[in-house]
Amino acid sequence: MSSDLSRGTCQRPSFARVSPFTAFWYPSVIVGLVLLATALCRVVTAHLATNGAPLIMTAVLLVLLELRPLVQGSGHDPQGVVMSTAFSMAILFLWGPWPAILVVSIASFMADLRARKTPWKCAFNIGQYNVSICAGWLVMALAGRTPSLDHPLGRTTGWDLFWMLSACIAYFLTNLMLVSGALAWMSSFWIQISTDFTHYTATTFSVLALSPLVVVVANTEWELLPLLLIPLVLVFKMAQMSLEREHQAGHDPLTGLPNRMLLQESLAAELARSKRDGRPFGLLLIDLDHFKEVNDTLGHHVGDQLLVHFAARLSNSVRPCDHLARLGGDEFAVIVPDADETEVLGVAERIRASLANPVALEGMMLEIEASIGVAMHPDHGFFAEDLLRLSDVAMYIAKESRTGVATYSAHRDRNSADRLTLLSELRQALDEGALTLQYQPKVSLADYSLMGVEALIRWQHPQRGFIPPDEFIPLAERSGIMHLLTDRVVSMALAQMASWREQGLSVPVAVNVSLADLLGGRLADLVLSGLRDHALPTGMLQLEITERVVAQQTDELNAMLLDLETMGVTLSLDDFGTGYSSLLRLQSLPVSEIKIDRAFVSRLGEGASTVGIVRAIVDLAHALGMPAIAEGVETEAEWQVLRELGCDGAQGWHIAAPMPPEQATQWLTEIHGTSGPVRLPAAIQPVDAAEQPELVAAPDLPSAVLGQPTAVLAQPAAVLAQPRAALGRPPEEAEDSAELFDPDAAQVG
């Protein structure tokens, strides 16, 4: 049994401190080298006139067999069964320990050199072989059998099999203990001994059983010794065929990397090692970006060549101890053992760096880009299935955020157990009518008249408390129940509009809709039937869409938007400025209003650049023939700046918080009456600086931006906003006018 003292790990044992490893390594190497030096002296000074030919023949066969161990595949000793052991014991039985030690040392050194093992491993293997041979020699001495080069073993009988068997047992147990002790730095001594003990014992003694036959042939017709190779070669060939079949079953035929099956085995082994030693490790899941486009455009043969090039770069980027695998398609995985998160991320970055240079294929230069997800054990998961799933989640986060590498984060996991539970509870809330609407007004900045209200969905969970819409709206979109949520919201909003009309209040209501709602034709039927059932004019309902919808240019979507316009339903472009709108696309859409995102409104006091952006959006809206509405107006200073910039309307906490239907009705009744424009309370009327004794200065704004000399925009030190004070500001609410169905919104109320 030879040893690979660092297989499966990037670390190496310490030679400086006292440990089971040093307790076995140093004595084995020191005693082994002393024995080797003694054997060299004894063999050189011996007379080989009569025994030279049989010994040389046996030694040559020993070296040949040592160089070709019988590897039996995964699950067993990766170094294989050394078939030369039968010839090693035969030399011991015939000529004593010194020629056996010398020949075995030469053969072991050549085999380790061929396997490119480090010097300290080569020294240990030589030492442990030599000590094991001496253990067998001691048993022979106790049995009264002490052959030597000058006095080799003579004719053998059946009784000699007993001491030969005893010597083989001593050799086997000594070898097993020394190697297990040296490997005890990776796990416990007893685990090393017991691992694969039955199989190793059976295979080793099946080889050792040939040693008496070698002794008989060498003592009689040594020229026939090579014939003993025939059955051994046949066994070797059969093992090779089995190994090739196993390799094919466990490896990807295109790239030659291990496949998913071998990855599972490596992952299980790494989990066991980590549990035993307490060392963390990481799993990388890698997906090539835009690979489908390569296949569709250039053909699968080019895609295959690209995969082969990537596999080669991947192999050159990882550490020698890392485990690679191709999972299928353009997905690859890397197990990074004995590493914390920093080290694992370092491997991931080296992989990405290896893709910097393009690949030349079919006369073209192709760029390779990849997204890498990272999951750590034990921080993120304790089981193989969990680590694979979590690294897959992280990989898609990296792909969506375009960061290249992403570590798993529970709060960004869209498919966590908590989110699945939340989805089930959302379905139940829909069935039980537990979702409610709140309404937030938007008013004109010119004459303070009411322009309408926006319906905002709210979910007060009985156990979880208030759940923000940005947590359950994206969940509904991905799970296919968005249409149920939209049906409920549109129905409640239309019912509230009808109730207000019965009270003499004519209030337009805006409802947010998602991209999924605009596909399939259901939304137009829902809106039309709802307006008809409540006898409401179509112009009273407004649907708010986001820039994400604007970016889509499908015939189905365009037809739906035109159908809604034909019905008289108005459309508002929400959160403008945060997406990727095309001006040409914007010009062709039947949109009647642009809403400036609160991210710009909240920064109006920070400097000229933000003010300039808001002015540009307002001018763009006016150029397209539609009003501009500012969202998230929080302060009097923001109100005044927006009015100076020519913005048409405003919505936010400075006007009113989102209100339940009863409070919204009271608010509308108090300031609206039954006819005429809404007149807002004095608290949000423009302030005349000359008439107010106590003023709070607003941030200075460049006159070039406002188009007039810099003015002091001020407000009373104490603002008595009666409707807002009555409502209060619920702590669980978001900061301002929340968006109903836009998962991309910066804040959701």
Candidates 728, 11, 92; CA nearest to 338 is 11
In a domain, 321, yes or no: yes
544 and 404 within one domain: no
450 and 384 within one domain: no
pLDDT at 692: 33
| Residue 525: partners with Cβ closer than 8 Å, 6 or more residues away | none
In a domain, 407, yes or no: yes
Q: Give phi and psi for 553, each to the nearest 5.
A: -130, 65
In a domain, 14, yes or no: no
Residue with tokens 């020294």: 123
pLDDT at 553: 64
617 and 501 within one domain: yes
Domain boundary among 191, 219, 246: 246
158 and 122 within one domain: yes
Token representation of residue 420? 């699945």
* C-alpha–C-alpha distance, residues 669 and 666, integer Å: 5
pLDDT at 689: 33
How far is CA 643 from its chain centroid? 48
In a domain, 541, yes or no: yes
Candidates 140, 68, 145, 61; CA nearest to 103 is 61
pLDDT mean for each 10 residues of the chain (749 residues): 49 74 90 94 78 86 79 48 84 93 93 87 92 95 90 85 93 89 69 66 81 88 84 71 74 88 88 82 90 82 88 89 88 90 91 85 80 90 87 86 82 65 84 91 89 92 86 78 89 93 90 82 86 90 80 74 84 76 71 88 85 91 91 91 92 92 90 48 38 35 35 30 33 36 34
How far is CA 27 from its chain centroid? 46
| Calculated CA dihedral for residues 29, 34, 36, 40, nearest 10 degrees | 160
Token representation of residue 595? 């809403």
Candidates 469, 503, 501, 468; CA nearest to 485 is 469
- In the chain the first and final C-alpha atoms are separated, in Å, by 69
Domain boundary among 246, 281, 312: 246
Number of neighbouring beta carbons within 10 Å of residue 20: 17
pTM of the model: 0.49
Greatest extent of the chain over all pairs of C-alpha atoms, in Å? 129
In a domain, 3, yes or no: no
223 and 336 within one domain: no
Q: What CATH number is given to the structural domain containing 333? A: 3.30.70.270
Domain encompassing residue 405: 260-412
pLDDT at 191: 67
- Number of structural domains, the chain? 3
398 and 282 within one domain: yes
* C-alpha–C-alpha distance, residues 268 and 291, integer Å: 30
pLDDT at 730: 37
pLDDT at 272: 83
Candidates 289, 159, 153; CA nearest to 218 is 153
Q: Where are the alpha helices (DSSP H) in 97-196?
A: 97-114, 119-142, 160-182, 189-194
24 and 110 within one domain: yes
Domain boundary among 191, 222, 246: 246
424 and 402 within one domain: no
495 and 371 within one domain: no
How far is CA 142 from its chain centroid? 62
429 and 384 within one domain: no
Token representation of residue 408? 């798993």
Q: What CATH number is given to the structural domain containing 639? A: 3.20.20.450
663 and 557 within one domain: yes
384 and 448 within one domain: no
In a domain, 558, yes or no: yes
Residue with tokens 């010119």: 446
Specify whether the CB–CB gap between 545 and 523 falls below 8 A: no
pLDDT at 103: 94
How far is CA 476 from its chain centroid? 24
Q: Where are the alpha helices (DSSP H) in 627-735?
A: 636-644, 661-672, 703-706, 722-727
In a domain, 536, yes or no: yes
Q: Where are the alpha helices (DSSP H) in 251-373?
A: 260-277, 291-298, 300-317, 341-353
* C-alpha–C-alpha distance, residues 505 and 518, integer Å: 29
In a domain, 743, yes or no: no
